[in-house]
Amino acid sequence: MRTSWADAASETVVSNNNPVPRPSRHTYVPPHLRNSAVSDAPAPSGPPTERESFGGNTGGSRWSGSSRTKPEYGRQMQGNGYDAAGRDGGGSCRNNRSGGWDRRKREVNPFVNDDKVDDMKQGFSEHENTVINFDAYEDIPVEISGENVPPPVNTFAEIDLGEMMNQNIRRCKYAKPTPVQRYAIPIALGGRDLMACAQTGSGKTAAFCFPIISGIMREQYGQRARGGRTVYPLGLILSPTRELSCQIHDEAKKFSYQTGVKVVVAYGGAPINQQLRELERGVDILVATPGRLVDLLERARVSLQSIRYLALDEADRMLDMGFEPQIRKIVKQMDMPNRGVRQTMLFSATFPREIQRLASDFLSNYIFLAVGRVGSSTDLIVQRVEFVPESDKRSHLMDLLHAQRENGEHGKQALTLVFVETKKGADSLEHWLCINGFPSTTIHGDRSQQERELALRSFKSGKTPILVATDVAARGLDIPHVAHVVNFDLPNDIDDYVHRIGRTGRAGKTGLATAFFDESNLSLARPLAEVMQEANQEVPPWLTHYASQAPYSSNRNRRSGGRFGGCDFRREESFGKNLDYYGRGSSGTAFGVPADYGGAYVPGVISAWD
């Protein structure tokens, strides 16, 4: 029987018995009060007995030094009191006497399932999906632009997120930061706005969650609004699909375990009452999909006036035609603090130029970060394109699946994710696969949320090793052990292709992606050939031919990257006009260096691969 970090931690907490009597009724205690002296802190609502039981052990003001007031670097964070927090008052953990009852004792250990999952994975060839293959990330090109860019770090120890978060990082089995984390975390800890591009599966979620959680832990107390049944989260994380919001919530709960920072998720298709109850119990970071958030805002059950941190995952998707009005409403028309007051972070694997332009509206003096061949896939994914006429697609898929099953270990079907264009097409293909002896399920927007979640679970567990999906599953979902992504129908947008195939080849593992190309995909020929070339993939001659014949589509111009990855649209525009973006002579720095380069910068060098 395995003993996990988390088990050890929960034992610690239980044995670290709280001598303070618990109140009978629980009241939300904001994180900045949970471990602080009562003296001059504004009184939380609730009976005095609760306040007396805070067990104040520190002055709390050591969490001062708001990152936003220090424009320089994230380094000022180092050793600014976390160690003291750990030892202070005899508690080995921060916030272990919150409000007279210890929420952390009732906090479900988010790591308990990890061991079970590991056991379940015996059937798979690899264990420890959380362990990242860092060899795969050597020599990754990095580009940064903006003013006063904080230097990257090489280890989590350098970042010093505090003992509780360090423990959680160990529990997650993260040995060292991924390239995007190495650059993005110091930037975010420095209080800077950020537009970050990094390859699919390279650890973006932690890159924005760590700084938000750490920032909230450092928060000075006192400013938090309260009133009625309205809750006032400090951090807001938006994502384009319900499942992705759930996944971010699950991750964030691990990162914030026992820190006293409360993360709540809200999304549509699920009973709102349950989510309202969760919110009432207190929320520091709200993870949400846009529709449900607007609903909550209109009901005045959530107010954004205390938001200090705003993160958009899959930010280019969030700002494209479908979502942009909703996002604009949330960010501009509600009570959210203005840009420059809040800290805004946008993350995606792709960032088309015109979306960057749109996005700059939400940002203030931001840093642009591109890690890896952005808008490209990793070369960990073997990409194949086959010309398959519509009428042959089914039988061709069947051939692939048969071959896969025969080559698989113990005749087991490897997890295969099949993307189709329409919801109807998804249902139809799933049914056909099932009656032909291939256990499948499907996920798309016409299914109930329950069905969607069941489908995802069933796929992840290997019970139905084939998942037929629409683009609802194209972005962000981290499904370990997806061996094969099939683009049964290719998307119209090359960026969607990049995100889809990014469901495999995650965390430094390899994967296979097969696309069925037909006459209806001619406009994709050129960008597809480019993406494949960027990733050192073999481009079939017939595709090169189509690509050379294809007219320059607007698609090409809006490509997020050029041949060498992401580019800050501010730089492109200033080059075009032969003007400095800031009009001040130094618009920033770009690093044409390997990602693990830890030494001095090369200012003035735009990029080594340009």
Partner DNA sequence: AAAAAAG
- Decide: is 270 part of the binding site for DNA (CB under 7 A): yes
Question: Looking only at residues 182 through 241 of this chain, which bind DNA when binding is defined by CB under 7 A?
Answer: 240-241
Among 424, 457, 463, 563, binds DNA (CB under 7 A): 424
Please, are residues 38 and 224 in contact by the beta-carbon 8 Å criterion?
Answer: no
Helices (H) and strands (E) in the chain, counts: 23, 16
Q: Which residues of 523-543 are buried (b: 16+ CB within 10 A; e: fewer)?
A: bbbbbbbbbbebbebebbeeb
Nearer to DNA, 9 or 327 (CB): 327
Question: To 5 degrees, how large is the angle CA 247–CA 297–CA 235?
Answer: 50
Q: Which residues make Cβ contacts (< 8 Å) with residue 69, sequence separation at least 6? A: 191
- Which residues of 185-301 form beta strands (DSSP E)? 194-198, 235-238, 263-266, 285-288
Shortest separation between residue 275's beta carbon and DNA, angstroms:
9
Q: Which residues make Cβ contacts (< 8 Å) with residue 287, sequence separation at least 6? A: 237, 238, 239, 245, 248, 249, 252, 263, 264, 265, 266
Question: Looking only at residues 324 through 353 of this chain, which bind DNA when binding is defined by CB under 7 A?
Answer: 326
- In this chain, which stretch among 100-108, 210-218, 265-273, 382-390 interacts with DNA, using CB under 7 A? 265-273
Shortest separation between residue 421's beta carbon and DNA, angstroms:
6
- In this chain, which stretch among 57-65, 76-84, 442-450, 526-534 interacts with DNA, using CB under 7 A? 442-450
What is the distance between the alpha carbons of residues 88 and 94, in angstroms, rounded to a whole number? 9
CA contacts within 13 A on the Cβ side of 188: 33
Question: To 5 degrees, how large is the angle CA 431–CA 433–CA 434?
Answer: 65
Nearer to DNA, 242 or 253 (CB): 242
Nearer to DNA, 193 or 314 (CB): 314
Nearer to DNA, 143 or 316 (CB): 316
Alpha-carbon dihedral angle through residues 581, 582, 584, 589, given to the nearest 10 degrees: -70
- In this chain, which stretch among 148-156, 191-199, 224-232, 321-329 interacts with DNA, using CB under 7 A? 321-329
Nearer to DNA, 125 or 422 (CB): 422
Among 350, 413, 470, 560, binds DNA (CB under 7 A): 470
Shortest separation between residue 475's beta carbon and DNA, angstroms:
9
- In this chain, which stretch among 61-69, 263-271, 500-508, 513-521 interacts with DNA, using CB under 7 A? 263-271
- Decide: is 165 part of the binding site for DNA (CB under 7 A): no
- Decide: is 315 part of the binding site for DNA (CB under 7 A): no
Q: Which residues make Cβ contacts (< 8 Å) with residue 13, sequence separation at least 6? A: 93, 96, 102, 104, 105, 258
**SS3 (DSSP) at 415:** strand
Among 147, 421, 518, 572, binds DNA (CB under 7 A): 421
Nearer to DNA, 183 or 419 (CB): 419
Nearer to DNA, 239 or 376 (CB): 239
Q: Which spans of this chain sit near DNA (rule: CB under 7 A)?
A: 240-243, 267-270, 272, 288-295, 298, 321-323, 326, 421-425, 444-446, 470-472, 492
